[in-house]
Chain A
Amino acid sequence: MKKKSDWKVHLLALVMVIIAEAIGTKSFKLGPGNVLLLPMLYALVIGMFLPSLKLVDRDDMEIASPYIGLSVMFLTAKMGTNIGPNLSKIFSAGPALILQEFGNLGTIFFALPVAVLVFRMGREAIGVSFSNSREGSLAIISDLYGLDSDEGVGVMGGYITGTLFGAIYSGLLAGVIISTGLFHPYALAMAAGTGSASMMAAAMGPTIAAYPEMETELSAFAATSQLLTSVDGLYMSLFMGIPLTEWLYRKLGGKPAAGKSGKEAAK
């Protein structure tokens, strides 16, 4: 990193926080439910316009990048203090919390068929479908296939999409799912903990807004699920996610990797 002062970055962040919080939370009707727009989403959107307004350059972007991870730690601490008082509730919900971790494999069944059958993607489909494409997923793919491989291109695309739109999309998705009334708020809170702090926060916003009287329990369930994912995510992907994705890819008739036997694509 260059020897450049980071005060501009902090001042910009301050202005973004002030503007975003001053606008405040807005909700509007979309289909069956209410969609919540939260200050954090405005902050992200303001950020997307900064380069075209010539307010930030490459150096500023590089400077700001590690600050994301550092400021996430406050959120982690806050959520931890919600777990302590709710430990007994969490133990009684234990089986659900642990088993819902397998729901993270849902990425494969939602994404892979469309990637292979509709978009005719090659093995990029495996990289983008086996997980929610966060940092850990980059590490796994780079280890197994290399980031220059087709699978690597897929997971990078997923990573960038998630970074850009993941929070916004998670907030909208959670709002829509909440409005269906199909799920208990505890289940929705557990589902929000998928391994990405910003996506979890975005999915929890509308959940807490819809059930404000349950805020501490909901936050505790989300944080515990998040914690579980950070512990088991790597193993889940390595031993279940990747093999399952490879298997389904062959079943769907996906193109074999260059240089591999065509037998894999026989089905």
Chain B
Amino acid sequence: MKFSQAFRIFVISGILALIGNFIGFKINPIDALPGMVILLILVVAGYAVSRVSPIKLPSIAYISALAIIASIPGVPGADLVVKYVNNVQFLALCTPILSYAGISIGKDMDSFKKQGAKIVVVTLLALTGTYVGSAIIAHLVLKLTGAI
């Protein structure tokens, strides 16, 4: 995908999230706009770095790293980043993702129907296993190290 195409999708996706943020969380888009622009800058910068960087890592690794650095207390502007991004709700960013996922889901349906219920049950057990397994270890280690 060309960079300009990706940029266009970032902007559209950001607008969708702003609208959802308004409808679902009653946050005025004007108030949420600075936070969304900050997120957009982080996304575009991380995406751009991943395309030119000699270290081949997925874009989300770079985006995440930039966002962490931009929000560390003491880094210039970090308090503003945190303050404005707080006006963009976590859940409002999730809805556009699953809207696109919903639109594309049909293409996986046919191959899936051939496999039957067994594979569904086993997959859901696997998902249960990773969640519960991680929760048990995390809880025990947090207790043992006195973090909670």
- By beta carbon, the residue of chain A nearest B75 is A84
In the complex, the answer to whether A186 meets B142 with C-beta atoms within 8 Å is yes
Q: B90-131: contact bitstring with A at CB < 8 Å (1 yes, 0 no)?
A: 111111111111111111110110010011111111111111
Bound Cα distance A89, B107 (Å): 43
Q: B8-51: contact bitstring with A at CB < 8 Å (1 yes, 0 no)?
A: 01101110110110011000000000000011101100110000
**Secondary structure type dominating chain B contacts:** helix
Query: Of A13, A17, A56, A107, which contacts B130 at CB under 8 A?
Result: A107
Query: Of B104, B133, B147, which contacts A106 at CB under 8 A?
Result: B133
Distance in Å from the Cβ of A174 to the closest Cβ of chain B?
7
Sorting the interface of chain B by its residue count into under 10, 10 to 19, 20 to 34 or 35 or more gives 35 or more
In the complex, the answer to whether A80 meets B63 with C-beta atoms within 8 Å is yes
Task: Please provide the chain A residues from 25 to 45 with a CB less than 8 Å away from any CB of chain B in the complex.
Answer: 25, 38-41, 43-45
Bound Cα distance A14, B128 (Å): 32
**Secondary structure type dominating chain A contacts:** helix
Task: Verify if B145 is at the interface (C-beta below 8 Å from A).
Answer: yes
Total number of A residues with any Cβ neighbor in B under 8 Å: 126
In the complex, the answer to whether B145 meets A128 with C-beta atoms within 8 Å is no
The 22 listed contacts between A and B (C-beta, < 8 Å) are: A17-B20, A18-B19, A21-B23, A41-B98, A65-B104, A67-B9, A70-B9, A73-B47, A77-B64, A79-B67, A81-B81, A83-B64, A84-B69, A84-B73, A100-B134, A131-B126, A131-B130, A169-B127, A177-B132, A183-B138, A184-B139, A184-B148
